[in-house]
Each structure stands twice: as structure tokens, then as C-alpha cells.
Structure 1
């Protein structure tokens, strides 16, 4: 009987595939955009969501070629949300409790107006809630703008500690990017209207964004001009980049869960319905 085992050969080392960057320079990658770029997840911004933001994932891949550091203005917890003193300004994230999405029953620890660790060396300029024209607004990161009426600053941009008079694009360009992503810009120009249940105005034909309400829909021509200015600014120094579009807004749940005008009502039926719900509506208002 032969008890000798056959010789076990060492597996051949797989041939490594050389990375081809085709004249792309990822050494200073800057991401610009809104909530998706920031890593906004489950209705809030929190550390794990930021770590899983698509720019952070891309930066990890870029590092395999010639990519450099990629720093983000991390929140202080995985609760999400913001507090102003002891008051909750932005609510904690959602989680699924087995029956439905539910807000986490915890208090956020990230204070509004407190600069995030690592300020002046951030690479992710994803600003939750920002509309297209906000990215060009001077002072959008000035803490003083958080207490004006109307509010002229964004608390997430304030956390990044920008120059008080700079816009988001000013800050991004000042970092001298060699490569950039510009993602989902324009989504909030329509989404805010939907989230508010249509409680806003369609500003088509009005280029004066200073007259817009928080939930208004941006004039299409104004958006086009704004987008061009943003792209021109980001590419002025020779940087290359990727522009991404936004999902079909009308496919989002805000537009599909409850169809617009689902009941065919003429004027007479609408009046009858209003009268029928008069007592109910009065009770709601009184409460």
C-alpha cells in the first residue's frame, strides 16, 4: 500500500492587472453635490452613512492608482440629526422596527454651529438640503446666516468651517481639485416641493432666487445657467470630472404613493366633500 500523499503544488500567483488611469490625476479628488454625495441615509446624516458615501468609496478605489487623502466632515455619532443647545433641530435617523420605518429614540449629539474636526482639509462638499443656486451663494456657510430671517446658511456647510463670505463652489475650487464629481445637483430644486406636499410655488419664469420660498421649484432657465457656472468654475483650473444626473423625480414615492388627483371631482362634488369634512377640519384646527 502506498501511503505517500501526492505533492501539493503551490498555486500560481495570479497575474496582477495594471491599473490604467489614462492621464487622470486623482491626487486631489473633490466631491460636490447634495444629500447623496454627503452620505445622507435613512433620513439623516451620521458616521456610517458618511463612510459609505459614494465619494468615499470612489476615493478608496482612486487610492489604488494615484489618489490622495479624502476627508469628510464626520458627524459625532450614528444617531443622526442635529441639536441646537438641547433642542433637536434635525431629527435622528430612521430604522426598521419590524413593522415600519421609525425614528431612532435617541438624542443627537452633533451641535449646530460647532466646526467639525479636520476643518480646512475636507474633500466632500455634499451639502444635504442644498439647491443648485445655494452652491453659488456667498456666505452659505456663515454661522450668522443660521439666525437670519429667512435663513441664509446651511448647518451642514457651516460645520465645514468655510471662509465666511465663500460659497460652496468657492471652497471646492480653492482646494485646487485635479478630479471632481458633481452629483444630483438639481434634485432638491424639485424634491423640497414634493416633500412639503406641494406646499410651494413653481417659479418658472422668475430668475430672482432671492424671492423663492423654501419649497419652491426653481426656474428651469435659472437652473441651467447655475449649473453651467458651477461646471465652468470646477473645470477652470484644468480639473477633469464626472457629472451625474438625478433620478426621475416623478418615480420617487412622494409622487407615486398617493397619486395626484386620484378622485375625479367636479366643482359640485368638491364643494359637497368640503361641506362633509367641515366639522372634521374645524376639529383639527382647534386641536
Structure 2
């Protein structure tokens, strides 16, 4: 099915006209003999679920990278792949962001609030989907959370709660749920949120979803997970964790842009933005990362009760939650590297494939060109990332699927055809 972008604007229309014709895989598709694709399941978080633009909704679910992988596996004899789709009547799911306008080149977004899939407003609970499924991706799922009880209850994760039948014991955890599917093949992409929640909160630990998981715990849980998934010698693919500081959520709102905005509205030249750090307030540098929501918060320069402008004086610095400072960023990157070393080691010891998502998205950060499309980590115009600056567009999901397909072909001697990226869209422009 074609999913061409009808909204990508003049620049990309010109690009698509002048681009070279996509190169097709020049081989006969085959599954090879080293893996059984008859029942493929996907274990993961929001990326696996198709979450995009700050929400889970039907269009995103239909281009989730595991589903795209499954469609290609079916071309070499793979089995049926079912996803917990929202109905057409509730197609906007949890709600999501859409681009309303571009004002002076700046994006204006709005929240989609119609055709939602909530069965309860307080606590927020989504319409149940309890049929058998293959895409087990749950937004917000962490490695440590996967083993915790009560996550599938009304007090836990609403996306996981949605998948469990009424009457399920509250002690049911995601690990047990996801490893009891009688699978023959799997993709595994947990661990991102064990770093991301901490990073997006400015390295402020204020609850279980913003904790930085320890390396020792991650190692223990991953080994437990993989040994259970491969107890019948099943094959699969483990995904590395991307460097979270390479995504638009951290790279879009820069010190330079903030200063330019302040100075455009001020008669007095401002040279510094002050941030709160764990060692005290200081002037921000270009090595500090402001999070994407900070710009929209409209706080910079607003005076407090003592008439000290927010962020423009050390006595009223930008709060820690809005900044991942250089020291915190180094801590996060180091933890990602430690996790990825463990992932590769566990994959090697179990003779599993590795989809090096980290290496690929690092390349995307600097800009790549595939199937006639330019893709980078630029917010909105880069094509790869959705409006929340973390999750993927359909183009991004297709690219991700191809990373997994390449790993499958390389490790298991298969010839699964890759996806043509030009069949997919980026961010919808108004």
C-alpha cells in the first residue's frame, strides 16, 4: 500500500521530481533456512507501537516499524501480523499534535481532541483491545517496568492496561505477557525509556519513569528476557538504543536561537541565558541542551515577583527540568553506550541479530539521502522525526524497518526485500 506524502511542500516535491529512480533489491526474496518467521512478535515501547506526534493514533499504528517489517517478511513466507488498532470511530486514539500553521517560519501546533479512544477520563483508560496480537509495543514501557507488577492496572500504564482482558490478575507484568506468545521470531527494542525519561526531564529524578536504570540491573533483566525468549531456540533481533541527545527534542531549541529571540524584543543586548544546575546557576553554553517544550512554554524573560527576568539572571535561572546540561548529557550518553555494549554482548552470546539503531540515527543526525529523499534530525523539515521531536514519521519508521531487515538478512541468510522510503511521508504541513 502506498503511503505517499501529499503534504510535504514545494521543496520536497521538487526534490522528488529531480531525484534518481529508487534502486530495487536485485534478488529473489527468500526466508533462508536459519530463522522461522511464521509467528513474529515485536516487543518494545512507543517506537514499536507506532506512537508519533505526542500520541498513539491509528495512522501511526499503521506505519509502526514492526508492522512494516512483518509486511516484508510475508513476502518470504512470514505469517499473519496483528496490531491493536484503534477503530475508525476512535482513530485519534490518545490524541496527538498536528501542525496548525507556520508563523514567521515558526511552527504552531494544536492538540487533536476529536475521535478519541478513552473509556474513562479519570483515571485515563483507553478502549480495550484484547484480541491476540503480534505487535506488543507499549508506549512508556521500560526494561525495569517490564518486570514490575500492577503496571497493567488502572493505576499503571494505560497502554498496557488496554491490552489485558478484564479480570487479569493485577500482578501480570509485561515480561510474562510478552514472553507467553508462542512465537517463532521476535524483535526486541526495550531500554530507550530507561534513559530517555531521565534525559527529557533534565536529569531530574522525580519518579519511576524518570529514573536512570543502573547498568547492573539492565544487564540482569536483559539476560533474563532474552533467555526466556529463546528457550525454544527462537531467533530474533535486538535493537541498540539511540543517543537521545541526537533527536530534535534536544537539538532544536538552542542557546543561539533563544538569545536571538530575546534580543529581537529587547532594546538592551542580552549575552547570556542562565540555567540551574546541580552545582548551582551558571551561564548556559552551546554544550547544554534545552528541551523542545521550553520554547513553547514562553517563560524566557518573564519577570518573577522580584522583577527578575526568567533565565536572564542567575537569581532566576531556567529550571533544571528544561535543560540537560553538559555534565548530565555526558552521563546519559555514557549510560546509552554501556547499555548498547550489553545488548551487543547478549545478542552475540545467543547468536541473535543486532539492529544498530544507534549508529543509524547518528548518521541521520548529520543528514542522509535515501531513495531520493533527504532525511536528517532537523525538526519538521528533516522528514525523520514527528512533531514531538522524539518519535518517528512514516519515513522514519520505514527507515527503522530497513535497519532491522538488513540485520535479518545479514545474520540469518535471508533475502527479505527492503522498503522503498519514497512511498512514505514526513511531517504533514498545513
Q: TM-score, normalised by structure 1?
A: 0.71
Q: Say if 2:155 is the partner of 1:155.
A: no
1:87 aligns with none
Q: Say if 2:195 is the partner of 1:190.
A: yes
Q: Which has the larger radius of gyration?
A: 1
Q: Say if 2:216 is the partner of 1:221.
A: yes
8 Å Cα contact 2:188-2:237 kept in structure 1: yes
Count matched residues: 233
2:306 aligns with 279
Q: How does 1:1-287 map to 2 (within 5 A)?
A: 17-76=28-87, 77-81=90-94, 92-99=95-102, 100-107=107-114, 109-111=116-118, 112=125, 114-116=127-129, 119-143=130-154, 146=155, 153-161=156-164, 163-164=168-169, 165-183=171-189, 185-200=190-205, 213-256=208-251, 257-258=253-254, 279-280=306-307
Higher relative contact order (CA 8 A, sep 6+): 2
Aligned CA distance change for structure 1 residues 18 and 265 (closer, same or farther; 3 Å): closer
Shift of 1:255: 3.6
Q: 1: CA distance between counterparts of 2:280 and 2:35?
A: 65
Shift of 1:232: 1.3
8 Å Cα contact 2:185-2:234 kept in structure 1: yes
1:3 aligns with none
Q: Compare 26-35 and 225-234 and name the one that shifted more.
A: 225-234
Shift of 1:240: 0.5
8 Å Cα contact 1:28-1:178 kept in structure 2: yes
8 Å Cα contact 1:140-1:158 kept in structure 2: yes
Shift of 1:22: 2.3
Shift of 1:235: 1.0
Q: TM-score, normalised by structure 2?
A: 0.48
Summarize deviations over 1:212-247 as a string: whole Å, max 9, x none: 533121122111211111111111122110001121
Shift of 1:105: 4.0
Partner of 2:240: helix, strand, or coil? coil
Q: 2: CA distance between counterparts of 1:268 and 1:120?
A: 52
Structure 1 residues without counterparts, runs of 5 or longer: 1-14, 82-91, 147-152, 202-211, 271-275
